[in-house]
Amino acid sequence: MLVVHHLNNSRSQRVLWLLEELELPYTVTHYARNPETNLAPPALEALHPLGKSPVLEDAGQLILESGAIIDYILRRHGDGRLLPTAGTAAHEQYLQWLHYAEGSAMLPLMLRMYTSRLPDQGAALQPRITEELNRHLGYVDAALADRHWLVDDSFSGADVQMSFVAEIAPLLHTLEPFPHLAAFRKRIQDRPAYRRALEKGGAYAFGPAP
Ligand SMILES: N[C@@H](CCC(=O)N[C@@H](CS)C(=O)NCC(=O)O)C(=O)O
């Protein structure tokens, strides 16, 4: 049985969503952020050397990093679903988006989040961060201009991995200049499996308005 070690208000929400899309059996072990520091509880350090979530447990093996977890679930348990065939151009694009989400897109978003906690809101850095946010969100928006889903207009693990970018972006920047990204966000949040995952995961501040 797959076990998702899930932190509230976190990237692990998309792992629950993927498992709901695939209708796979799994259990959730819940961890709550410290209400003052917003950090994960020390219990996660027993599983993840950095004390982060998500962690996926499968027959005693622990898998870290949401992109690796999504790819693992699809390869090992997906039965060919939501995963472009290895060796095809679509598979290369899928891998590109899988890595892009955490490797590139999250950086300016996290910079905005951390600098906005500084007394002067990191004023000197904000123009550069805004420039990068517009560049990255513009890139994703353009990729979605003529399609609903990122790879060959076919729903895949790449969309699941990119969902957190689409969900956290409006809290830290604006989606107004990026209508295709905003539509993508709404599209994912309207999926029945996404809604079921919300019920499984509990508090999630980046989802649709209640
Ligand atoms: N790149 C990692 C990021 C993991 C990560 O930073 N998770 C956050 C939740 S969104 C976390 O556990 N934060 C709690 C903490 O840092 O104490 C992934 O995609 O899995």
CATH number at residue 154: 1.20.1050.10
Ligand 1 centroid to Cα of residue 7, in Å, is: 9
Over residues 176-200, the mean pLDDT reads 98
Task: Please state the separation of Cα 180 from the chain's center in Å.
Answer: 18
Closest of 4, 1, 9, 5 to residue 198, by C-alpha: 9
In ligand 1, the atom with minimum distance to the C-alpha of 11 is 10
8 A C-beta contact, residue 156 and residue 83: yes
d(CA 21, CA 14): 10
Tell me, what's the pLDDT at 37? 93
49-72 pLDDT, tens digit each? 999 999 999 999 999 999 999 999
CA of 11 to the centre of ligand 1 (A): 7
- What is the model's pLDDT at position 119? 79
Per-residue confidence band for 25, with pLDDT thresholds at 50, 70 and 90: very high
- The 10 Å Cβ neighbour count of residue 178 is 24
In which domain, by residue range, is 73 found?
A: 2-82+193-201
Judgement on whether residues 186 and 97 belong to the same structural domain of the protein = yes
Question: Residue range 25-33: average pLDDT?
Answer: 98
Residue 25 and residue 48 share a domain: yes
- Same structural domain for residues 27 and 108? no
CA atoms within 13 A on the CB side of 102: 17
pLDDT tens for 76-94 read 999 999 999 999 999 999 9
Amino acid at 183: A
DSSP 56: E
**pLDDT tens figures, 98-147:** 999 999 999 999 999 999 988 788 899 999 999 999 999 999 999 999 99
Residue nearest to atom 19 of ligand 1 (CA): 66
What is the position in ligand 1's atom list of the atom closest to the CA of 106? 1
CA dist., res. 93 & res. 65, Å (int) = 19
**Ligand 1 residue neighbourhood (C-beta within 6 Å):** 7, 10-11, 39-40, 51-54, 65-66, 102
The β-bridge partners of 72 are none
Strands 2-7 and 55-58: antiparallel
Residue whose pair of structure tokens reads 């993927």 in the numeric block: 18
Ligand 1 center to residue 22 CA distance, Å?
Answer: 23
Is the confidence at residue 203, as pLDDT, over 90? Answer: no
Give the Å distance between the CA of 50 and the centre of ligand 1.
Answer: 9
Q: How far is the CA of 87 from the centre of ligand 1 (A)?
A: 30
Query: Looking at ligand 1, which atom is closest to the CA of residue 53?
Result: 12
Tell me which residue has tokens 């988006």: 97
Q: Say if 206 falls within a structural domain.
A: no
Q: Read off the CATH number of the domain in which 23 is found.
A: 3.40.30.10
DSSP string, 99-116: HHIIIIIHHHHHHHHHHT
Nearest CA owner, ligand 1 atom 13: 52
Q: Give the mutation target among 11, 65, 114 for probing the ligand 1 site: most ligand atoms within 8 A of CB.
A: 11
Q: Which two three-digit tokens encode residue 157?
A: 């693990």
Higher pLDDT, 209 or 11: 11
Q: Are residues 24 and 57 in the same domain?
A: yes
* Domain count along the chain: 2
